[in-house]
Chains A and B, each alone.
Chain A
């Protein structure tokens, strides 16, 4: 896609800055992807708990909550 755009705009060669920063950009992309995956995983864990139970409450005890 990028190469098509470059061809259409009459540019045949990418600036060397793009090559130089490629590794960094890919790494940041992977880190952000992992962050999204982590939020998804935590969301699934929190949603899998019974409704109304706040699992981040201090000294959480499922028995104490469900017996009320």
Chain B
């Protein structure tokens, strides 16, 4: 008897390593890695570079694992929506059971290793993040309420908090504000996407705000959340991790973001259709830059402090 005796599969395509990597949503992982790194490097406690690398890797893999669990659960609607038909499961590259196995295995591995490399508090936060994204958001909120991304946005907001927890072992006003920044940014970001992907969400039966309440209400919500985001985005400037550089960048980018939200609010479906949702798409793209720049500014402030170039007379209110 040889090993060939056991081969009964006649599949034309076997999942390659890259297909499993695609299960982990690499684009989302990039944002997670970056924000977790900012949380870790802005913390007032130095972490050895090897430990920093290992713990950020754990957070990235944990986030990827929750992405795989999300793809396993949502494979039916992913097959309907244009944006997601090329994902590994609907395109037939990876089976559902494989995605579940990868998601569960990497979830346990990432949490366990973060507990060993970092600390138990950070590992607990990562476990909660995975649970929140896979169970609370994907299984419960996504298909049941138009406020799915408002509450579900918390899952994407945890990484900087985990990075901070790796360094300090706890939570503080700075990490809460970094969490709040991503949390409040998520609704305008995704509702802008939902405006020009409305047909997709409608076809898949996902109760996104434009599907349930119409585009007018959605535009109003985008403006309202952008206004609420403004003080949250500026507040870190007046904490230990902020400074004049962050303040200047935050004020500038929030002014542009607010103006964009105001423009969306003034528009109607007719004008959006006329230019193929140009303003909505630009607002969506700018929102990505907006978040990225805020975290780059925090990193720059940390670098300035490390080089003793920080402004000592800058007010710290929180």
Q: What is A's interface to B at a CB cutoff of 8 Å?
A: 9, 11, 15, 17, 20-21, 23-24, 27-28, 31, 38, 41-42, 44-45, 55-60
Contact = CB atoms under 8 A, between A and B. Distances in A.
Interface in B224-250: none
A59 B45 contact: yes
A42 B169 contact: no
A42 B53 CA distance: 10
Contact of B16 (A15, A23, A31, A38): A23
Interface of B: 2-4, 7, 9, 14-17, 45, 48, 50-51, 53-54, 57, 116-121, 168-170
Question: Nearest 10 A-B pairs (CB), nearest first?
Answer: A58-B169, A27-B17, A56-B119, A45-B50, A24-B17, A41-B50, A15-B4, A42-B54, A45-B48, A24-B16
A20 B14 contact: yes
Contacts of A17: 7, 9, 14
19 contacts: A11-B4, A15-B3, A17-B7, A23-B16, A23-B17, A24-B15, A27-B16, A27-B17, A42-B116, A44-B50, A55-B48, A56-B119, A56-B169, A57-B119, A58-B119, A58-B168, A58-B170, A59-B170, A60-B45
Contacts of A11: 2, 4
Contacts of A45: 48, 50-51
Given A11-B4, A17-B14, A31-B17, 8 more contacts: A11-B2, A21-B14, A24-B14, A24-B17, A41-B50, A42-B50, A58-B121, A58-B168
A41 B45 CA distance: 21
B99 to A, nearest CB: 15
Contact of A59 (B48, B50, B118, B169): B169
A58 B167 CA distance: 8
Contacts of A24: 14-17
A60 B168 CA distance: 7
| Residue with the highest number of chain B CB atoms closer than 10 Å, among A17, A24, A56 | A56
Given A56-B119, A58-B121, A42 B51 contact: yes
Nearest to A9: B2
Nearest to A17: B7
Contacts of B118: 56
Contacts of A20: 14
Contacts of B168: 58-59
Contact of A38 (B2, B9, B57, B119): B57
Contacts of B14: 17, 20-21, 24
A57 B168 CA distance: 9
Most buried by B among A24, A31, A44: A24
B169 A15 contact: no
A64 B171 CA distance: 21
Contacts of B15: 24
Nearest to B48: A45
Nearest to A28: B17
Nearest to B17: A27
Contacts of A58: 119, 121, 168-170
A20 B9 CA distance: 12
